Amino acid sequence: MQPAAPLTFVAPDAAPTPGAAMHALLERLFPICRSITGDGVRQTLAILREYLPALRVHEVPSGTPALDWTVPAEWNIRDAWVKNAAGERVIDFRQHNLHILQYSTPVHGWFSRQELDDHLFSLPEQPDLIPYRTSYYQPNWGFCLSHRQREQLRDDYYEVCIDSTLDEQGHLTYGELVLPGASEEEILLSCHCCHPSLANDNLSGLVVAVFLARELARQPRRYTYRFVFGPGTIGSIVWLSRHRDTVGLIRHGLVLTLLGGPGGFTYKQSRRGAAEIDRAAALVLRAAGVPHAVRPWLPYGYDERQYCSPGFNLPVGCLSRTPFGEFPEYHTSSDNLEFVRPEQLTESLELVLNICTTLEHNRTYRNLSPYGEPQLGRRGVYKGIGGGQEGADWNMALLWLLSLSDGTHTLLDVAEQAALPLPLLHRAALALEGAGLLQPLT
């Protein structure tokens, strides 16, 4: 399946291809130390506004109730290190921001090797990689390091410094972009902006969302598109708490994540299991002819579990490539700029755009000549002998549409039953509408 329009846009830095432009944005964002709150999120959203000037940035005060949660204190970090007896930095936050346990409380003092060990995190099974670890809601401090580096810490005492702040008067920050359409009904696209220096998780979903928004802004839109760029879990909970009266406008939704690594695609269904977004995503994946899997709903994962919680029950699925926890680079320093490739980002962008196009084109029609088969040849829409397979598929698309357009079947229904591409059915529906044989109802 091809995108609705050629992907010809470029980023402000004028990268030559969409994949290169997305990767260039990812390279700018990669060094920033993001968390669920703080200046790293603000810096990230400020860069996104260069690409999406209409992006609105929201600040929600710490301590604000949000459903069953409370907005946490704002965390920022300036520096962190562990020094040996000679004064050498043996663990240095400035070398890699994964070295710090996210949301570490401030600390400065000398600790025995045994005391320090209780605050160190490493991966014995991946001894050369730095893990990514967090302690958002339980006060703690710590350092992440490669296991080989950990084994080299042989001094009896170490000086530890974490120059961080936890501000109870701070804020949680998230971004939101709305692209108005002909209808107030919405398609929600949600992604995370909270992980530091992890290219696939979750910067790849963020950059795909940015360039999807840029492309959709160039096109006529039946639906209104709402993009949410927020920290994981608490971001979507805060957003939902502030939109309880309007979430009923959301007709379809996708969480975008892990879209830059290798491997096939994975679509996780919404809690409803057979929502239009679930069917559209499955149809597009099959038509694309790419390796993929469609998985049933599971109440664990990314922010789809907040949007799909039973009180909201929104039709929101999750699209990724290889899912979280199923590739060795996940939440380690190997999830780097080399792991995410421009061609993988491009393929992901095209797939998401095709899902949006499918939702845009999925309408219900009524056959205006339902008594017997109308004569298509004299109306110039039927392809005669010599049309080849394309002509045969076109003619079958016409006949299937006339057969099922009783005011109750959508194009997605027809595509599933007829095993024909929805873009072909869309073109055929426009031809029949132009010939006075079909009337769109939705």
Annotated binding site: 195, 201, 331
- Provide the H-helix boundaries in 36-91: 39-51
Prior bond of 76 cis (ω within 30°) = no
In the numeric block, the tokens 């559209």 are attached to 280
Residues in the chain: 442
**Nearest-angstrom CA–CA distance, 300 and 308:** 11
Q: Residue 206 phi/psi, 5° resolution?
A: -65, -50
Identify which of 357, 352, 320 has the alpha carbon closest to the alpha carbon of residue 202: 320
Query: At CA 426, angle to CA 425 and CA 429, rounded to 5?
Result: 85
Question: Which residues have CB under 8 Å from 66's CB, separation 6+?
Answer: 60, 234, 237, 238, 240, 241, 242
Identify which of 22, 24, 46 has the alpha carbon closest to the alpha carbon of residue 34: 46
Which token pair is 346?
Answer: 């491009």
Which token pair is 221?
Answer: 């839109």
Residue ranges of the annotated binding site for Zn(2+) are 195, 201, 331
Q: How far is CA 336 from CA 133, 231, 332, 376, in A?
A: 16, 20, 9, 57
Q: What single-letter amino acid sits at 245? A: D
In the numeric block, the tokens 């995370």 are attached to 192
